[in-house]
Amino acid sequence: MNKIIKYVLLDIVKSRIIIAYTVFLLLLSIGLFNLGGSPDKGILSLLNLVLLTVPLISIVFATTHFYNSYEFIELLVAQPINRKKIFMSEYLGVALSLSAAFIVGVGIPVIIFSSGLTGFYLVLTGVFITFIFVAMAFLASVITRDKAKGIGIALLLWFYFALIYDGIVLFILYAFGDYPLEYATLAMTALNPIDLGRIIVLLNLDVSALMGYTGALYKSIFGSVWGIAAAFGLLLLWALIPVMSSRRIFSRRDL
């Protein structure tokens, strides 16, 4: 398995896209930290960026990578290797390279400009988001053999989690505004990894004072070690569920 991961990693590094991605993140984070004035502001702008671009790039890159290495996968399947191992190696290879790019591109500037718990949460959230969206990309890729369709599904997934979902939540909150919705909102944010990540980071920033009663309630939940552990546990679940289901589909499917 390690050997396959190594080959996948080498293949990705050779394509140079990952290097461009690293440089892009690095330049953006350094730029934002220098523009923002205070490190808190830098983290805030970086958060917006991370939650919009990282899922998009992860999901598009992983889908195209999966379809491009279809022949390689077919070759491996012909060998006496467990299919699940092949799939997991592909997944880990892509997810690890993208998270490495993220850690270099965002993690290093964060350490330099604003090392602290909030920065750590930001980087951790970014890594989790990468793993989650690579998993979703793989799920989209194993569902259909058609490359165009696969990328379409992947983009739709990104569109749903980054945009449409928040719109739906806003609509629900507006429609049921007369009811106490604090816990309902909490449940709804747990159903979207991007929202969950954003709230984990926001609650640790000064801005949280603007969130009033709801913010205070969330802070009491996410402020404790258990709350934070639960939040990251949920993110982990968000990565595991698509990975496991796509692994299952991949190992049973007629290639």
Partner 1 sequence: MKNPNKQIFLLAHILALMLWGQTAFGNTLKVCKTCTYSSVKQAVQKARPGDTVLIDGGTYQESGIEINKPLRLIGQNNPVIDSNYKGQILTITVDNVMVQGLTLKNIATSYIRDDAAIRVFRASNVRILNNTILNTYYGIYLQNSEKITIKDNVVKGENAGKTESALGNAIHLYYTDEVEISGNNVQGHRDGIYLEVVKNSKVHRNSSINNQRYGLHFMFSNGNTYTYNIFRHNGAGVAVMYTDDVRMEYNTFEDNWGAAAYGLLLKDIRDSVIRNNIFRRNTTAIYMESSSRLDIKNNDFERNGWAIKLMTTCVDDTFRLNNFTGNSFDVSTNGPSQLNHFENNYWEKYTGYDLDKNGVGDVPYRPVSLYAMLVERVPPSVMLMRSFMVDLLDNMEKVLPSIIPENLVDEKPLMKRIKHDNDKEFAQVLRQTTSAPGRER
Q: Which ranges of 191-224 does DSSP label H, i.e. alpha helix?
A: 193-202, 212-222
CA separation for the pair 250, 141 (Å, rounded): 10
Binding to partner 1 by residue 47, rule CB under 8 A? yes
The answer to the question of residue 211 lying near partner 1 (CB under 8 A) is: yes
Residues 6+ apart with CB under 8 A from 134: 58, 59, 62, 91, 94, 95, 98
Q: Residues 202, 231, 239, 243: which binds partner 1 (CB under 8 A)?
A: 202
Among 173, 190, 234, 249, binds partner 1 (CB under 8 A): 173
- In the set 40, 166, 223, 232, which binds partner 1 (CB under 8 A)? 166
Least Å from the CB of residue 181 to partner 1: 4
Which tokens sit at 186? Answer: 């909490």
The answer to whether residue 206 forms part of the interface with partner 1 (CB under 8 A) is: yes
Binding of partner 1 by 162 (CB under 8 A): yes
- By CB under 8 A, is residue 5 in contact with partner 1? no
CB of 48 to partner 1, least distance (A): 6
**The only residue of 209, 229, 236, 244 in contact with partner 1, by rule CB under 8 A:** 209
Give 46-112 as a 3 state SS string: HHHHHHHHHHHHHHHHHHHHHHHCHHHHHHHHHCCCCHHHHHHHHHHHHHHHHHHHHHHHHHHHHHH
184 contributes a contact to partner 1 by CB under 8 A: yes
Sketch the per residue contact string, 53 through 92, with partner 1: x for CB under 8 A, - otherwise: ----------------------------------------
- 115: tokens are 């090392």
Task: Decide: is 215 part of the binding site for partner 1 (CB under 8 A).
Answer: yes
Residue with tokens 């953006």: 28
Among 131, 218, 238, 250, binds partner 1 (CB under 8 A): 218
Interaction of residue 187 with partner 1, rule CB under 8 A: no
Closest listed residue to residue 161, CA positions, set 247, 54, 64, 241: 54
CA distance 235 to 99: 15
Burial code of 187-203, b = ≥16 C-beta within 10 A, e = fewer?
A: ebbbebbbbbbbbbbbb
Choosing from 190, 216, 234, 249, the residue that interacts with partner 1 (CB under 8 A) is 216
Residue at 21: amino acid letter: Y
Site of interaction with partner 1 (CB under 8 A): 44, 47-48, 51-52, 162-164, 166-167, 169-170, 173-174, 177, 181-182, 184-185, 189, 195, 198-199, 202, 206-207, 209-216, 218
